[in-house]
Amino acid sequence: MRILLFLASNAAILVVISVVFQVFGLEGILQENGVDLNLQALLLMSAIIGFGGSFISLLMSKWMAKRAMGVQVIDKPANQTEQWLVETVRRQSQEAGIGMPEVGIFNVPEPNAFATGASKNNSLVAVSAGLLQRMTSDEVEAVLGHEISHVKNGDMVTMGLLQGVINTFVIFLSRIIGHVVDRVVFKTERGYGPAYFITSIAAQIFLSILASMIVMWFSRRREFRADTGGSELAGRDKMIAALRRLQQASGEQESLPDQLAAFGIAGGVGHGLKRLFLSHPPLAERIAALEAGR
């Protein structure tokens, strides 16, 4: 239902934009300036490319995560730690009303964890070996609750769809800019001149940087929600303790691969402009939010 509603809303956006093009005669204005561009066709093409890449990434997310991080999925628990891990995830997923995720461990010495998957009932929750070794069972329970909350909230799907919208408009606007520069500035009459390709690529890079700020802003907001969900599943004190433990280890954290960074529990280290590109809020802010009951 989340996917259908999101797709419907974005289809409506595309229709509205198309109507705006007609009302304000934007195609006519472009044609008067020598830009022979079908905006509706370009918008449709941009949406297909933009959403296509996001959906493929979403569908392949578990497979890519396992390959990228070397996740060992626990099919049959080999020891008490693995048994406890699986049972805790099972209990929390039942409380959250989602299907049982796959549970795995990746061999990284730093404490970290992530969740990914194409839907609430087809997900993966993985923790690092360092997290199991350096955190108490209460703290690990809170981390698992945080990741289960990401799955419950449908954050992987929402992030994928948001990225699809962003991709669509980045592709769309960069192509328009390329056409205008090629036709109006460099007076190319037939086909595409070098100016179109150079300008389109430059515009796409610039717009992608701006767009990533929007995506990362949303990612930071959902971390607060997942912390709240983790505190509901495991207890607020446990969630705060887990974040404090991560704070102690923040100086030695190694980032997850780019495609997984937004889904890990650690992160949020940066100052100045770099803060705009963080997928996670600083741990101090997350702790303060929980202590304040937000």
Q: Spot the catalytic one: 147, 223, 254, 291.
A: 147
Q: What residues form DSSP beta bridges with 126?
A: 104, 114
End-to-end CA distance of the chain: 28
Can you tell me the distance from the alpha carbon of 197 to that of 276, in angstroms, rounded to the nearest whole number?
29
Angle, in degrees to the nearest 10, between helices 155-180 and 2-23: 20
Can you tell me the distance from the alpha carbon of 238 to that of 231, in angstroms, rounded to the nearest whole number?
7
Active-site residue 147, yes or no? yes
For residue 260, what are the contacts with CB-CB under 8 A and spacing of at least 6? 65, 68, 69, 114, 116
Sort 26 into a burial class: Cβ within 10 Å, 0-12 / 13-18 / 19+: middle
List residues with catalytic annotation.
147
